[in-house]
Amino acid sequence: MKNVILILAVGLVIGCVPVEVDRTPPAAPRGVRTISLDNAVEIQWLANTESDVKGYNVWRAARYEGPYTLRASTSDIIFVDNTANNGVTYYYALSAYDFDGNESALTKDVIYDTPRPEGYGVIVYDYRTTPSLAGYDFSTYSVRPYDDLFTDVFFENFSGRHYLNVWNDSDIQDMGYTTDLDEISIAPVAGWAPSKSAEAIVGHTYVVWTVDDHYAKIRVIEVTNARVVFDWAYQTARGNPELKRDSSGKRERTLTRPEKTLPS
């Protein structure tokens, strides 16, 4: 009988011990960057070091001041926003939350991206031998005659040397050898070729500044006497030099979260 009483007494004592509640929010996510896709934006960030972090909220706005609305919640450190449209700039912020429902402040750096279309394996031919298939128009993503009104760049074989040419109202610049198309992040502000042409070299990436103030880039994949094959990306936002899949702004800001309502 004494043993039973002792157990009950111990149970009563333990029951009086207060349970500690975690009210400390995690730190805001770090290392956020974006990747421009075709009608989409990929957001990446570093995992929080706190052991009790449950997931992350991804917020989006049409301008860097906000308001920011909740785009998604995820336990991963990567999210693809498939509702983004080419040529539109989107601003993103992230917050982390733990298993007790505590949520961090929003990230302070302004992270933004402007999706742009891209294409692969385009073939255009020497304008002297195949003039109707020698040019390319980035705005319509199409092969055109070299002298078409909308042609932005065209191919030339001149005595065994190969060139990418633009017309007098446009510009081109050879950015040198790159390992891939996305190594060139932004259009240059100077250094355009006075001749309006650049030698087509396999592995080189070229930036084109079109007559209607758009930027594009192409990376040469193959060159023969008859044709050139290239990959391309085109910024549909006029005057926007952003060409890479990787961009982020570094301005500081203070944000407040609106009501947490996930989009349908």
Q: Give tens-digit pLDDT for 220-229.
A: 999 999 999 9
Average pLDDT over residues 120-141: 97
Task: Supply the pLDDT for residue 1.
Answer: 41
pLDDT top residue among 263 and 26: 26
3-state secondary structure of 109: coil
Task: Supply the pLDDT for residue 261.
Answer: 36
Our CA angle for 65, 66, 72, nearest 5°, is 140
Task: Supply the pLDDT for residue 57.
Answer: 97
Task: Supply the pLDDT for residue 114.
Answer: 87
pLDDT tens-digit map of 23-69: 899 999 999 988 888 899 999 999 999 999 999 999 999 998 889 99
Q: Evaluate whether 232 touches 117 at the Cβ level (below 8 Å).
A: no
State what percent of residues in the chain have pLDDT above 70. Answer: 85
Give every CB contact of residue 231 below 8 A, 6+ residues apart in sequence: 118, 119, 120, 121, 122, 181, 218, 219, 221
Task: Supply the pLDDT for residue 15.
Answer: 55
Residue 237, phi then psi, degrees to nearest 5: -80, 120
Superfamily of domain 30-113: Immunoglobulins (2.60.40.10)
Model pTM? 0.68
What ranges do the domains of the chain cover? 30-113, 118-234
pLDDT above 90 for 242: no
Res. 258 pLDDT band, cuts 50 70 90: very low
pLDDT tens-digit map of 72-118: 999 999 999 999 999 899 999 999 999 999 999 999 887 888 888 99
Minimum mean pLDDT among 89-98, 241-250, 253-262: which range?
253-262
pLDDT above 80 for 192: yes
What is the C-alpha to C-alpha distance for residues 12 and 32, in angstroms, rounded to an integer? 50
Minimum mean pLDDT among 115-119, 135-139, 162-166, 194-198: which range?
115-119
Measured between its terminal Cα atoms, the distance across the chain in Å is 63
Average pLDDT over residues 1-26: 59
Task: Provide the mean pLDDT of the chain.
Answer: 87
Average pLDDT over residues 146-164: 96
State what percent of residues in the chain have pLDDT above 90. Answer: 71
pLDDT above 70 for 8: no
